């Protein structure tokens, strides 16, 4: 499973990354985390508000720091 974090690398982005890792670990899912900090790449991905989280290239969270519990629910 691939998680992509879109954002500038700020504290909120780092928190979202940690929450995604916690959610994957809680579900026993192996994941790869990619961080996209380039503004043009973020825009090209269709992200309007950061931080954003994509799971397997589908943007599921945008403009907020989702908790580990919220991300677990997205994982099914």
**Does the active-site annotation cover 13?**
yes
Q: Of these residues, 5, 13, 61, 65, which one is catalytic?
A: 13
Max CA-CA distance within the chain? 33
| Rounded Cα–Cα distance for residues 11 and 2 (Å) | 21
**Does the active-site annotation cover 31?**
no
Contact 59, 72 (CB under 8 A): no
Q: Of these residues, 10, 11, 43, 48, which one is catalytic?
A: 10
Catalytic residues: 10, 13
């Amino acid at each position: 499973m691939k998680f992509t974090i879109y954002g500038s690398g700020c504290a909120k982005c780092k928190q979202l990354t940690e929450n995604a890792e916690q959610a994957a670990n809680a579900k026993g899912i192996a994941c790869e985390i990619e961080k996209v900090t380039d503004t043009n790449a973020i825009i090209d991905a269709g992200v309007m508000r950061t931080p954003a989280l994509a799971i397997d290239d589908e943007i599921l969270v945008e403009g907020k720091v989702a908790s580990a519990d919220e991300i677990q629910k997205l994982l099914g």
